[in-house]
Amino acid sequence: MTLRDLLSQAGKLTREMSEMANTRHQKGISDLHELSRPTRRKTQYPSIVSLQNAVHRYAQSTRELNALIATLEEHLQAIREQANRARFERR
């Protein structure tokens, strides 16, 4: 891949990661927060199943976010290597 392609791909990954963190990951955190704070409903305590589901959704979004971060790190490493190669070739 050319340096320009790597930079545009890294930009896309960064936007995707930001969007995922702001939507899915934040939703998982708010779901867990809601379940941990009793409110005036029929029962003040959430069921174990609803807690487990919320934790599983949060863990899944965390895994997806970590995968995007790892991919972005690989792209940034490739960008750094190509930039260093280009700098040494110019000398």
Q: How many residues does this entry show for the chain?
A: 91
Taking the C-alpha atoms of residue 85 and residue 79, their distance in angstroms, rounded to an integer, is 10
Contact 32, 58 (CB under 8 A): yes
For tokens 């930009």, what's the residue?
Answer: 11
What does each of the 91 residues of the chain score in pLDDT, given as a tens digit?
788 898 899 999 999 999 988 888 888 888 888 877 766 566 666 778 888 888 899 999 999 999 999 999 999 999 999 989 888 887 7
Q: Say what the pLDDT of residue 14 is.
A: 92
Give the HSE-up count for residue 81: Cα atoms under 13 Å, Cβ half-sphere.
9
- Please report, for the chain, the start and end positions of each structural domain, with discontinuous segments joined by +: 3-90
Residue 11 CB neighbour total at 10 angstroms: 11
